[in-house]
Chains A and B, each alone.
Chain A
């Protein structure tokens, strides 16, 4: 029995090739994701292991957990949560402790490095960091030149290469506030691959002046007395306890192992997000691939109906026939997955080489453990077997009498599918409407039903979207004939008789056409949802910038931080009516009337001048008057934060830690697309709450005295911030465009990830066409025998292909737009308030569908045209 199954695969290898390829691509994506994560993991593990080498670390005792990772203050590098700072002077006391060799404060911060050609070195995400060089640090090796003195820097090797700087060159760096001329004193290497980070070493005095003006540092590294060999175990816990006993309040001592572990966990968490994100797309690719497998097996079963009936007549049980089809699927899945593992591992090496060529060095290790390989192969096999279950069931139910009949069982009706699809779409649409309603609502009880109001709109959005998509897929065979007839109408009229023949071929098996188009449908639905999100975001941003920004000009920074010196330079420019800087920090926040025992959680807090909401921004005031609130010393809270934390207008919050704690009333609740910080307070209160070292200027709003002089003012501002290299001055129009550009960048990544699904869908069309040509060999021979030319035959196949592709795309785009329509309601908090449908893009996608159809038809058409007429007619 199994032999029949395996021979079947071997004899019709070509028919299963594309199924195998579909599994291969999907599994390669999964394995590639695992390996990519492994590569990032080992890179960061190396970095942690080679940079965090001290035996004990002293750090702030308070955790400033932020709602919004990455928005924390300026000073203090490293991984993990933001913490309060410790005094630098502590290092001297610690160094005198028994058993302590050295105690070195970590003084570092963001830097802008100017390369040899005069432009700033910009990374695509990794930080540019300057830090105080400790020549005794074992992880640093001087490769060339000398360690820096005042007015000098040393560069990490890859940073020096990227910047085109050599020892002895002079260049400009912006450390903290001011740009300064420096000489490159040396080049050093680090043990781990720097992963694209720009590392600049400076002398301790310069570092302290730039990054610790208030005498505070994020961490102090404590090294134990060497005493014994370097490899010998140091009693780190004992040392940490002794160091801890000597510390003032607000500081704590932890072992190096603990810090390394915490850093590792923080990295793993971020990498976990990346992995999950990529795996979602891999899952989509596998899901789309499943359609190819289902179709292949459905057609293989249909073709082998008599053979299967014979097996049944010879005494095979339905279970045996079922198992034999699944065995074939298992072979397809395992072979495809095994190839996929190889392809995935190769893919990551390619990516690594590509990134290295672009200046991003990663660890050469991209480990895949046995569990991941088994998981990936198992996944491929599982998808393949699941996809074959319906065809296998059909095979098992073949009546044995079929072995003696010549007629082929007719395609089953689609009534049940139509009903099920309709129900699913209707329920899904209902859930989407509910999600939009809940998401857009300001009140706590939009529907009044507690059970319903408690539901997460995003969860509902996901469930609704899933239901609609599945519903369309299920119902697709029922509408296929009608929709295809409409789509084919112009072709039928224009291309006689080819159009009519092609239409007949795609409409006579609506299930197969629908299933083939299904793969494309999913991909196109996702493309359109993405397109709707992008267009809506851009439209929303434009609306928001037009309505919400009062200021004429914005000074923004490529590093997300505007240096203090640049802020002073901007303030010094004449012709400004107001210069409003937004400073960011993190501080603990808790409602005063919160139940006892509730822990204060960190909140992003923004510091602005009291006049901010009158001169710079004009947000939607939901409760209270934001300007009055700031003037009264009250806090202004963003709607999403208020809702998340259960705060209301008039509540009193306790903000700040320890001695800096203040009780502040919520004076207004606003809804804004530009302010993303949860709590906004006026400058005086901000200074009281957030230590100077943890404040950073994010953006500066500037209003001109004379509106007509905006252009001149802009030129003056540009000249003032020019030395800081990373700053830009934008008017409102450009602000909107800058936001739009960010959206476009994200969009490119999403489209690239979805492209694989589209490619697999294209393979699916090739697969179905090629198989249907084998199935129709006799019919094709007949047409050729009565005078149909090769080119005409190829034409018919091309039309079939295009019709299938356009059908899938039309349904997919319609589904995508339908789902997209619910998004503005649900994602209002993310800055998506206006629904925009990118009609030009929709037309483009339809055009792409025609191209996909034509491309997919090339190989099947050639195959069909090459069929010898006589063979075609005489085939049994």
Chain B
């Protein structure tokens, strides 16, 4: 396993990232001097056992949480020192999110949920791009349904479309298949991969499902708040082997 090498094409990168929760003797070092880079037009999976810091890494990289030390660069901008106001603007324009529990607004239709980030930013909807995204997730006939009228897989695909509609630099997906059955998972993962391959998007996905990781171009492993290795274009078996190695460090 090679050391991660930050490339000039990196859309998002972290340098010496440290995140400590609490203080004094009860302090927890969730991230411990992490260096990582996510290159453009790649689907990257972050894996690791519970408590390894993968969610914290994603929150810090997405500007949802402020790191204790270190630097986070998204789209060429150092976000670790940004004010809340600028972070809000960054989330609005450069970053997309997909959550484990879909997090759709129950009172809005699927179409309205998808365009919500644009509404918030008061940006006009690019109809061509919207149609392309909606076509890619295969929801053209469900656009006027409320979330409660959609299946879990459909809801998560709406959430994916919402993440992509503002053409973000990076989409962060937090366990996007955690609540889905295997068929729906397959649909969502296929879509995320397609969005990278066909639509040229950049996706970073936190997961602990080896099958989900096998859809990625690259898998980064975390353990105890540190980078524990990475593999490229893995199969499901590669991921399982690597995970076993991470869990029992030699």
B55 at interface, CB cutoff 8 A: yes
Residues of chain A within 8 A of B117, CB atoms compared: 314-315
**CB distance B107 to A10 under 8 Å?**
yes
**CB distance B108 to A4 under 8 Å?**
yes
**CB distance A7 to B108 under 8 Å?**
yes
With most chain A CB atoms within 10 A of its CB, the pick from B55, B89, B100, B121 is B121
Stretch of B91-99, B223-231, B237-245 contacting A (4+ beta carbons < 8 Å):
B91-99
B103 at interface, CB cutoff 8 A: yes
Q: How many residues of B contact A (CB 8 A)?
A: 30
**CB distance B107 to A316 under 8 Å?**
no
Q: Could you say which of A10, A314, A399 contacts B120, with CB atoms under 8 Å apart?
A: A314
Give chain A nearest CB distance to B133 CB in angstroms.
15
Residues of chain A within 8 A of B65, CB atoms compared: 401
**CB distance A317 to B85 under 8 Å?**
yes
Q: Which residues 118-155 of B have a CB within 8 angstroms of A?
A: 119-121
A3 at interface, CB cutoff 8 A: yes
Q: Could you say which of A310, A315, A400 contacts B105, with CB atoms under 8 Å apart?
A: A310
Query: Is chain B's interface secondary structure helix, strand, loop, or mixed overall?
Result: helix
Bitwise, A440-484 to B at CB < 8 A (1) or not (0) is: 000000000000000000000000000000000000000000000
**CB distance B91 to A314 under 8 Å?**
yes
**CB distance A3 to B119 under 8 Å?**
yes
B208 at interface, CB cutoff 8 A: no
B188 at interface, CB cutoff 8 A: no
Given contacts A4-B116, A401-B64, contact A306 B108 (CB under 8 A): no
Complex CA gap A403/B106 in Å reads 14
**CB distance A400 to B64 under 8 Å?**
yes
Bitwise, B50-69 to A at CB < 8 A (1) or not (0) is: 00000100010000110000
Residues of chain A within 8 A of B101, CB atoms compared: 406
Complex CA gap A789/B100 in Å reads 36
**CB distance B107 to A306 under 8 Å?**
no
Residues of chain A within 8 A of B120, CB atoms compared: 1, 311, 314-316, 320
**CB distance B97 to A313 under 8 Å?**
yes
B35 at interface, CB cutoff 8 A: no
User: Which A-chain residue is minimally distant from B91 (CB atoms)?
Assistant: A315
**CB distance A314 to B55 under 8 Å?**
no
Complex CA gap A750/B126 in Å reads 63
Residues of chain B within 8 A of A10, CB atoms compared: 107
Q: How many residues of A contact B (CB 8 A)?
A: 25
User: Which B-chain residue is minimally distant from A310 (CB atoms)?
Assistant: B103
Bitwise, A1-39 to B at CB < 8 A (1) or not (0) is: 101100110110000000000000000000000000000
Complex CA gap A11/B90 in Å reads 31
B88 at interface, CB cutoff 8 A: yes
User: Which B-chain residue is minimally distant from A402 (CB atoms)?
Assistant: B64
Given contacts A320-B120, A401-B64, A401-B65, contact A312 B88 (CB under 8 A): yes
Residues of chain A within 8 A of B116, CB atoms compared: 4, 311, 314
Give chain A nearest CB distance to B97 CB in angstroms.
5
Q: Which residues 392-409 of A have a CB within 8 angstroms of B?
A: 399-401, 403-404, 406
Residues of chain A within 8 A of B174, CB atoms compared: 404
A307 at interface, CB cutoff 8 A: yes
**CB distance B92 to A403 under 8 Å?**
no
User: Which A-chain residue is minimally distant from B172 (CB atoms)?
Assistant: A313
Give chain A nearest CB distance to B120 CB in angstroms.
5
Complex CA gap A401/B93 in Å reads 18
**CB distance B105 to A4 under 8 Å?**
yes
Complex CA gap A320/B85 in Å reads 12
**CB distance B91 to A313 under 8 Å?**
yes
**CB distance B88 to A7 under 8 Å?**
no
Residues of chain B within 8 A of A307, CB atoms compared: 103, 105-106
**CB distance B103 to A403 under 8 Å?**
yes
Residues of chain B within 8 A of A399, CB atoms compared: 64
**CB distance A3 to B92 under 8 Å?**
no
User: Which A-chain residue is minimally distant from B109 (CB atoms)?
Assistant: A7
Q: Could you say which of B93, B103, B108 contacts A315, with CB atoms under 8 Å apart?
A: B93
Q: Could you say which of B59, B90, B92, B108 contacts A401, with CB atoms under 8 Å apart?
A: B59
Residues of chain B within 8 A of A318, CB atoms compared: 84, 88
Residues of chain B within 8 A of A313, CB atoms compared: 64, 91, 97
Give chain B nearest CB distance to A600 CB in angstroms.
69
**CB distance B119 to A404 under 8 Å?**
no
Residues of chain A within 8 A of B59, CB atoms compared: 401, 404
**CB distance A316 to B105 under 8 Å?**
no
**CB distance B107 to A404 under 8 Å?**
no
A sample of 10 more A-B contacts (CB under 8 A), given A4-B105, A310-B105, A315-B91, is A4-B116, A311-B105, A315-B117, A315-B120, A316-B120, A400-B91, A401-B65, A403-B103, A404-B55, A406-B101
Please name 7 pairs of A and B residues whose Cβ atoms are closer than 8 Å in the assembled complex, sorted by A: A3-B112, A7-B105, A11-B106, A313-B64, A313-B97, A316-B92, A401-B64
Q: Which 8 A-B pairs have the closest CB atoms?
A: A315-B92, A7-B107, A11-B107, A315-B91, A310-B103, A316-B120, A314-B117, A317-B88
Interface residues of B (CB under 8 A from A): 55, 59, 64-65, 84-85, 88-93, 95, 97, 99-101, 103, 105-108, 112, 116-117, 119-121, 162, 174
Interface residues of A (CB under 8 A from B): 1, 3-4, 7-8, 10-11, 306-307, 310-318, 320, 399-401, 403-404, 406
